[in-house]
Chains A and B, each alone.
Chain A
Amino acid sequence: MTPFVNIYRVTLTYRGSPGSAGVLALQDNSLQVERGEFAAVVGPSGCGKSTLMKLVTGLVRPDAGRISVDGKEVTGPVKIVGMAFQNPNMLPWRTVLDNVMLPLEIVQPHRSRLRKEKKAYREKAEALLATVGLGGFGDRYPWQLSGGMQQRVSLCRALIHEPELLMLDEPFGALDAFTREELWCVLRDLWHKLGFTVILVTHDLREATFLADSVHVMSARPGRIVESRKIDLPRPRDIAVTYEPAFTGIVHELRGKIAEVRQQA
């Protein structure tokens, strides 16, 4: 049986202006993620982590190799994914609730149902906001919220159409340390509750270790997964786990691997 997300020996070159060689972003890269698994990809900056996101969501096609999600080869946009980035990318002219509901206006079958069942969808969005601690904030505008709150809204927007796969590109990178740990727990609880599959791209090793079932270390350009490691810390994990020796041990080990990869670059 093939894994839920299967990236198999993928190579991708970004072509620059005609005549220049282009940048080899990924080379012979493979990554497998099981259904319901929380996977984290870590690596030095510029290693093509974000490229990996674009490949899995079908925004970019690989030059060589194969990518499949849920058994189907990715040839175009994959509608069963939700995405969130470091920048919350809110639309300032829409209320929080309308921001969350944006994907429903795009994705079928919600798109055609939205007008008729507006009320039910609004309730659903409000319920989702409540689970991330933003109950009653639906009528505010994004610019009235703090950075951490906006990022929660961004997570809700990524999840409103009930995607099976959540792609996160350094979603907590711009937050302060306390807010970040708070949001780790928000994401952890959402994942426990809804049971989607996650691919989290990050450069924060503690974040990866705390949240993920498996951590994949990527080398610098051209990007390749050079090591995959299972994190078998018991779940549910409390934030206190991050101060235990077992946890710090894993983080240290990953750090060592990254340092090694950076030396080679």
Chain B
Amino acid sequence: MNGFRNRLIRTADATAPLLFTIALFLIWEVVCQVFKVDPFILPAPSRIIEAMVRYWQPLLRHSFVTLWTTMVGFGLAVVFGVALGLLVGWSRTIYRSLYPVMIGFNTIPKVAVVPILVIWFGIGEVPAIITAFLISFFPVVVNVATGLATMEPELEDVLRALGARKIDIMLKVGIPRTLPYLYGSLKVAITLAFVGTVVSETIAANAGLGYLMVQAGSNFQMSLVFAGLIALAIEGIAMYAVFAVIERKSTRWAFRSSMSAGA
């Protein structure tokens, strides 16, 4: 009896996210039908799916543009973010001198930068890539630097007393212990990168989901706007899942709480 109950609970646990999502869309559908919501204000999911089927080709094409510009911007953010994070975590002086600038930089709304980027690089993918880079860069830097800065001073003492050079300490301890922080930040950074790309696409682009949604909006095709939103959400969730899996696989030791001691 107990075994059956446990299995039931486990199945419920595994399917709950899916069930909840379906329920959400069902409620949405029912509300739209029952209250006769104007499809121009809020199209029902059935209409959105209809639009997705009808416009699957442009949706796919624009989704792909958004995906690759986001990935390029995100890739740059990871490369430069890790490099700067290591630099900042390496020395207190660099940390102190760079920090105010980085904070100030991060505080600037990236939307405000897009017009400047357009003047510099023209309309197209480049501003989108740079916006994605700018917005997702900061969490990577901060997390890498934090991982290095929170190294146990005693452990550093042990190694230094053995004659370890700074580079030894970094390679043996600093960088490995920073990895969970880095992977954690990648999940945040990738979702932010999508925000950056779409913000730029809505302002200055001739392709991408942001562009598609603006165009559809000005043609009063609300169901297509929402179809674009759904496509964005799917891309975001998929990339998040990819990095969550990478995180789990490569820094298993950091999830030790889920494993029992002495197992």
Interface residues of A (CB under 8 A from B): 54, 57-59, 76-79, 81, 83, 85, 87, 89, 91-93, 102-103, 105-108, 141, 143-146, 157-158, 161
Contact = CB atoms under 8 A, between A and B. Distances in A.
Given A92-B254, A93-B251, A141-B253, A57 B161 contact: yes
B159 to A, nearest CB: 6
B150 to A, nearest CB: 13
Interface stretch (B50-58, B94-102, B169-177, B206-214): B169-177
Contacts of A161: 162
B160 to A, nearest CB: 6
A105 B256 CA distance: 26
A83 B160 CA distance: 11
A54 B254 CA distance: 30
Most buried by B among A83, A87, A106, A161: A106
Most buried by A among B157, B161, B163, B168: B161
Given A91-B177, A106-B168, A141 B161 contact: no
B154 A77 contact: no
B263 interface: yes
Contact of B161 (A58, A89, A102): A58
B155 A89 contact: yes
B119 interface: no
B168 A87 contact: no
27 contacts: A54-B157, A57-B157, A58-B161, A77-B161, A83-B158, A83-B161, A87-B152, A87-B154, A89-B155, A91-B155, A91-B173, A92-B256, A93-B176, A103-B158, A106-B159, A106-B168, A107-B162, A107-B163, A108-B163, A141-B256, A143-B259, A143-B261, A144-B259, A144-B261, A145-B261, A157-B158, A158-B158
Given A77-B160, A93-B253, A158-B158, 10 more contacts: A54-B157, A77-B163, A85-B158, A89-B152, A91-B173, A93-B176, A93-B251, A106-B159, A106-B162, A161-B162
A245 B176 CA distance: 51
Interface of B: 152, 154-155, 157-164, 168, 172-173, 176-177, 179, 251, 253-254, 256, 259, 261-263
A87 B262 CA distance: 20
A57 B157 CA distance: 9
Contacts of A93: 176-177, 179, 251, 253
Contacts of A85: 154, 158
A83 B152 CA distance: 14
B130 to A, nearest CB: 35
Given A89-B152, A106-B168, A143 B256 contact: yes
Q: Which 6 A-B pairs give the minimum distances between C-beta atoms? A: A57-B161, A143-B256, A89-B155, A92-B253, A106-B162, A106-B164
Contacts of B164: 106
Given A106-B162, A143-B261, A144-B263, A83 B157 contact: yes
A51 B69 CA distance: 54
A238 to B, nearest CB: 30
Nearest to B263: A144
A92 B256 CA distance: 9
A56 B255 CA distance: 38
A89 B254 contact: no
Contacts of B253: 92-93, 141, 143
Nearest to A79: B163
Contacts of A59: 157, 160-161
Contacts of A144: 259, 261-263
A85 B263 CA distance: 26
A89 B158 contact: yes
Contacts of A77: 160-163
Nearest to A140: B262
